[in-house]
Amino acid sequence: MFIAHLPAGFLLSRYVLKNKRDEPNYIKYLLIGLIASIAPDFDLAYFHLIDDRQHPHHSYWTHIPVYWIAIYTLLLYPIYKWSGHIGVKLLTLFLLCGLLHMSMDSIASGIKWLYPFDKSYFGLWRVPSVHDWWIANYLFHWTFLIELVICSSALLIFFKDRELRNDLKYQLMIWSYQIRPSSKLMAKLVTADRRTNQE
């Protein structure tokens, strides 16, 4: 998959967090799922800057499910002791979005799902390299239609959810104020919004 990881992560996170919708930290919770949905591709920095593209980036540990499951298992108890059920829920969300990313990569590529027992890559199809510009190989392959459906669905749900958009604007406003507390305009907006919520 090429462009649909983040939208798919949004859809999954929104579903998993549906009972947290009215909590003040909902946007922050949602952000955890969004980060997790693209986290496996953080290895692209290593792929381009250090490894010099000598190995497929799906061969790195960030794209191998067993490592994600192992880290989740190791962190489960400490996270529970530190932050209770909400911490476990967010850790689980992080795992699910990471595994979703790898599941999507298995549609038009391959993932080592059975590693370390089997180092083979498992996937439904392979995108053939027929264009000089590698991105064009994905854009003109029929599996890109699946990505367009996912992206369209995520955009439709986002723009239909007015409450979510308002919460996002409020959270961005808070973060902006924290970055630049000297901004008088931002301070007035935050103060006014807090008064509105209290009323």
Each residue of 13-70: pLDDT tens digit?
Answer: 999 999 998 898 999 999 999 999 999 999 999 888 888 888 888 999 999 999 999 9
Distance CA 21, CA 9 (A): 16
Q: Is the pLDDT of residue 171 over 90?
A: no
Banded pLDDT at 174 (limits 50, 70, 90): confident
What's the CA gap between 48 and 51, in Å, rounded? Answer: 6
Q: Which residue has the higher pLDDT, 9 or 126?
A: 9
Task: Output the pTM of the full model.
Answer: 0.85
Residues 8 and 46: their CA atoms lie apart, in Å, by 24
- Look over the chain and give the mean of its residue pLDDT values, rounded to a whole number: 88
- Is residue 63 within 8 A of residue 111, CB to CB? The reply is yes
Q: Binning pLDDT at 50, 70 and 90, where does residue 176 land?
A: confident
Q: Is the pLDDT of residue 198 over 60?
A: no
- Any idea which of 115-119, 120-124, 130-134, 173-177 has the lowest mean pLDDT? 173-177
How many angstroms separate the CA atoms of 91 and 68, rounded?
A: 11
